[in-house]
Structure formats: structure tokens, C-alpha cells
Amino acid sequence: MQTLSAAPMPIPGHIDPVPVARAITPRADGRIDLVGLSRDELREALATAGLEPRQAKLRAKQVWHWIYNRGATDFSSMTDIAKAQHPWLTERFVIGRPQVVEAQVSSDGTRKWLLRSDDGQDYEMVFIPDADRGTLCVSSQVGCTLNCTFCHTGTMRLVRNLTAGEIVGQVMLARDGLGEWPSQPEGRMLTNIVMMGMGEPLYNFENVRDALSVVMDGDGLALSKRRITLSTSGVVPMMARAGAEIGVNLAVSLHAVTKPVRDEIVPLNRKYGIEELLQACADYPGANNARRITFEYVMLKDKNDSEDDARELVRLLRHYRLPAKVNLIPFNPWPGTAYECSTPERIRAFSNIIFEAGISAPVRTPRGRDIDAACGQLKTAAERKSRAQMDREAAEAAEATPA
């Protein structure tokens, strides 16, 4: 399969160029994946394939119901569509799911899936069960552009954006694994979605928007926008648009309160500074005390965890009058990192200062560390495994070759 390398795209500002995501390779069999299409796009796809308009409208309604309410993965199960039409649909369309390369379960119940697309790209998703909720951490890109120095995912190069179908497909696959079909709001294990997996969602805005529209559709996967959180490292020009066109909860990867430190650990800060970012948060549509903005703050020993840092964080949130909650995240180590996690005592003192100012600042309990599924640890090992496999095959071939 021919692939295209990422090319630099100059952008204004004092920061390295953002790579252009690789184009998405069409399916080898030429079929169209219906997962992730809007209702109108689904109807149009059927009409373009040859159905007359009224029949396309009816079939689109039926197929939509089977995909999102019944969890169907093939047309033969669609009992209200004539059997004679099943082969016609199967020849032209597919109801996709990501390929599961590996599924892991942590000792704390967290699940991580290594997924592969039709064009051979690998990405990950994580499901975190709690007593009163279950949260799916969804990826938006293969790789990442941001290079945050504390984040393992940030050490990957950007390969390409995930399509709307691949984003929705993660939710569908999780519900497959949890046995949550037919779809019904009551009693679900998967209750929340966070766009906090691999990638920066606002650098793949259209696909993320379109995917979440399907997820939030009352006749689709029917998750309330109040149950969905989009996390950004601070792509300021897209934040107002995200609030207006998607309208879900906002989380911001802040991680530092001074320019030198944030420039180091979140390089995007060199383009969109802290003040500009916090003003965009203050302007975010729908943010109020009932729908607070979450500020993610990873605790790095002797880097961003002093009492002065905590007090400056309080000052900034008050200055911009932000309805805020601060999630303090103990740093999750990964091989080769230059950072250490703050001590429990330092994290507790940091949290107390923020709580005493009247701002919620819970300490997140690390989940899935033993399978590298915790915050900041997502990075597919598929490339490394592939190389190891090739080395083993080469060694086996050498041993089998007569001297």
C-alpha cells in the first residue's frame, strides 16, 4: 500500500510547524463504511448507489436504527429489509468496526484496546469503570502533533486524523465488548465519553464534531452532551467554534501557570499563551457553575508543584472569573521520561491551597498503570512489536538456511 509522508505546514507564531495529516486511504474493496455518516449522508450514499429517493429515505432510517440501536455489523441481520436486497447492500457498503489487535485488562478493571484501521494504522482507546459510571477515553488522531514533553503519546509523530467513522467506531466497539446492545439509556456501563485519547481533537475538528453529533443523536447512540468532555491543550482559535458547534463539556490541559514552564512541557503555549487560553475559556459558550471547565494539571516533581504555583493557579482562575474544577493528575511514568511524580505530600498541599480558595481540586486516582493505560501513557507499541517480530522471523530464517 502506498503511503504519503507528513509534510510541514507553516503556521504563524513562534512554534515548530504543524505536520499535515496523511490522507486517508480508501478501502481496498471500494465499499463505503456507513458508521459515522449523518442521517443525510447515509440517505445520500444509498441514493447515489442507485436507490430511488423515497426508498433511500426509508432504507436509511432502517439501517440507522440497526446500526445504532441494535449494534448490527452486517446487513443480513436487518430483518425488516428484504432478503433480496441484503447482497446489494453488502456489495456496496460495510458497517465498520476497528480491528482489535490487542485487548488488555488492568488489575483495577481498566480496559485498553490497541486498534488497527483498514489502512493499517494503529491507535488506542481505554475504558475506565467506576462504581457509578463508566468512561471511554477516545482517540481522535493516529499519533499527535503537540509534543508535550511529559506525555508518552506526545513522543509519537502525527500520521493522520481519524475519520468520523473511526471515532464513532471506538464507541461502538466498546459497547460490543460490554454487551450493551440493544441500545437503551438505563443501566449502561458506558455512561461517559472523554476525547482525551491519542491526538488533539481540535486539530481534527470536523471529524470530531461529526462523530459526536452521531453519538449525541437521540435516535443514535444517545449520550447526552453533558456526559461528553472534549479535552484540548489550547488550540485557541477553535475553542469558540467547538462550544458553538459541538457544545460538550470542556477540559483544558493546563499543567503549568508560568510561561517558561508551560512553554517547556506544553510547547503549544509558545503560540497560544496562558492569558489568551484562559480568555478563550472565559468566552466558552455554555460554561457556568453547573458546567464547569475542567483544568487538567499533571503533578511534576520540582517543576510545577510548588505552593507558589498553586496560589498563582488560584489567582488566574479568579482573575478570569472561570467556573472551574482542577483535576490534579499524579504523573504516570514511562520509559525514557525526564520527569518524576510529585510526592503525595506535595500533591496534597497543592490540592489544599486550591480547595481553601473555594475551587474543587480532587487528586485523580491513577488507573490502568500496569497496562500503560493511565493518563499520558497511551502510545501504541505495535511498531516496536512489528520490528521484534521481523527480527525473530529473520533469525528463524537464518537458522533454517543450510550452511
- Whether the link from the prior residue into 182 is cis, omega within 30° of 0, is yes
27-196-19-34 Cα dihedral, nearest 10 degrees: 20
Residue 225 neighbours by CB under 8 Å, 6+ apart: 216, 246, 247, 248, 249
- What is the DSSP secondary-structure string of 321-338? T--EEEEEEE----TT-S
Annotation marks residue 124 as catalytic = yes
Of the residues 91, 124, 264, 281, which is catalytic? 124
Give the sign of the dihedral formed by CA 239, CA 243, CA 246, CA 251: positive
CA distance 316 to 321: 8
Position 14: which residue type? Answer: H
> Per residue, what are the HEC states of 80-125?
CCCHHHHHHHHHHEECCCCEEEEEEECCCCCEEEEEECCCCCEEEE
Helix (H, G, I), strand (E, B) or coil at 304: coil
389-391-397-400 Cα dihedral, nearest 10 degrees: -100
CA distance 169 to 224: 18
CA distance 277 to 233: 9
Of the residues 166, 375, 393, 396, which is catalytic? 375
Q: Residues 313-346, buried b or exposed e (16+ Cβ, 10 A)?
A: bbebbeebebbbbbbbbbbbbbeebebebbeeeb
Whether 256 and 265 have beta carbons less than 8 Å apart is answered as: yes
Whether 152 and 379 have beta carbons less than 8 Å apart is answered as: yes
CA 170 to each of CA 175, 342, 348: distance values in angstroms, whole numbers, following the listed order: 9, 33, 35
For helices 236-245 and 205-216, the axis angle rounded to 10 degrees is 20
CA distance 115 to 368: 17
- Give the residue numbers annotated as catalytic, written as ranges: 124, 375
